[in-house]
Copies of this chain bind each other. A is one copy, B any other.
Amino acid sequence: MAYRAAVVGGSGYTGAELLRLLAAHPEIEVAHVTADSNAGAAVADLFPSLAAAYPSLQYVPLAPGDLAGLDVVFLALPHGQSQAVAGALVDTVGHVVDLGADFRLPRVDYEQWYGEQHTAPDLIDRFAFGLPELYRAEIGGARHVAAPGCYPTTASLALAPLLHDGLVESTGIVVDAASGVSGAGRGLKVTSLFSEVNENVAAYGLLTHRHTAEMEMTLGHVAGNPVQVLFTPHLVPMTRGILATCYARPAVGQLSTAELLGRYREFYDGEPFVVVTDGSPATKATLGSNTVHVTVRYDARTNTVLALGALDNLVKGASGQAIQCANLLLGLPEPTALPTTGLMP
């Protein structure tokens, strides 16, 4: 294999998903996987799903010096921890792909929405925002990438053509989204227990979910002007998948569903991971894949535009997108090792 990689934080769900996808990567070898609290354990014991591919790989404690010289380091750490590690890596490894929130937002937005000081603000500019469909040029010019959150990826790809073409107002946008539980990670919380989640739907983070800032940043980038979003996430009883149902007010007259679908198909023409569907996107169509499905509707009765997007939060919403970015950084074909077909049924 051409390149050697590390997965830092490999005992969480996004870390394990990186290992699953990288097992099939013809050009990237996993040379190193860290997990502080699980150091010494075998990957195959924590994730028997990986036993056939990694029969003897073991977690080691994170020591940034051990990573020097690697071609790419994936950081799959809880929010806030990448800031403490990145400084030791940005000049000693080939590329850092951070899956956390630490280097996605401008400092001021980070500090406002996350309610805490950023401890490595000078590094933020070293990272491009890793949403290739909307920031491919920026990623091409960068050495490091901060992969976006799962909700912002979904909502931004669902709404981007509308804002890019100025078809909807930049205020009054509502993003109502539903997510599987794996987005909450493997940490122990009552709200992640099967008996609490099963047969239950509820909204959470009303008015204040942190991903709002990423959506506004990304859509503002596409629109060329500030955008305001009200975001309501819901937890639904499934493991993977995010569906975003988005509402916006037209900024122009004479819209139609057919015309909007045509614009979406043009906007995403040639994108290997975006499917524009006539029907209503289903998360299950994307299960285990790096594909996002989007559609759009114009409702003349209420003069509203409806845009929907579906993806797998652990693949296109996290680890798959991180590998998509790594492929770009390494000069490999962007789709390398990324499945496009969903596990259905």
Contact = CB atoms under 8 A, between A and B. Distances in A.
Contacts of A293: 48, 51
A196 interface: yes
A148 interface: no
A344 B194 contact: no
Interface string A204-215: 101100000000
A343 B285 CA distance: 15
Contact of A230 (B186, B189, B237, B304): B304
Interface in A303-337: 304, 306, 308, 310, 314
A254 interface: no
A104 interface: no
A297 B206 contact: yes
Nearest to A199: B238
Contacts of A48: 275, 277, 279, 281-282, 285, 293, 342, 344
A184 to B, nearest CB: 8
Contacts of A47: 285, 344
A32 to B, nearest CB: 18
Interface in A37-84: 45, 47-53
Interface string A283-298: 1111111010100010
A164 interface: no
As for how many copies of this chain the complex holds, the number is: 4
Nearest to A205: B280
A92 interface: no
A247 B203 CA distance: 13
B195 A193 contact: no
A225 interface: no
A312 B92 CA distance: 42
Given A13-B195, A202-B281, A52 B275 contact: yes
B339 A24 contact: yes
Nearest to A277: B48
A234 to B, nearest CB: 7
Given A202-B310, A282-B201, A291 B52 contact: yes
B51 A275 contact: yes
Interface string A124-145: 0000000000000000000000
A291 to B, nearest CB: 5
Nearest to A204: B280
A341 B234 contact: no
A199 B287 contact: yes
Given A51-B285, A192-B194, A341-B49, A176 B302 contact: no
Interface of A: 13, 16, 19-20, 23-24, 45, 47-53, 171-172, 174, 176, 178, 180-182, 186, 188-190, 192-204, 206-207, 228-230, 232, 234, 236-241, 243, 245, 247, 272-273, 275, 277, 279-289, 291, 293, 297, 299, 301-302, 304, 306, 308, 310, 314, 339-345
Given A48-B279, A52-B273, 10 more contacts: A48-B344, A50-B342, A180-B199, A181-B194, A194-B237, A196-B284, A200-B284, A202-B284, A203-B280, A204-B280
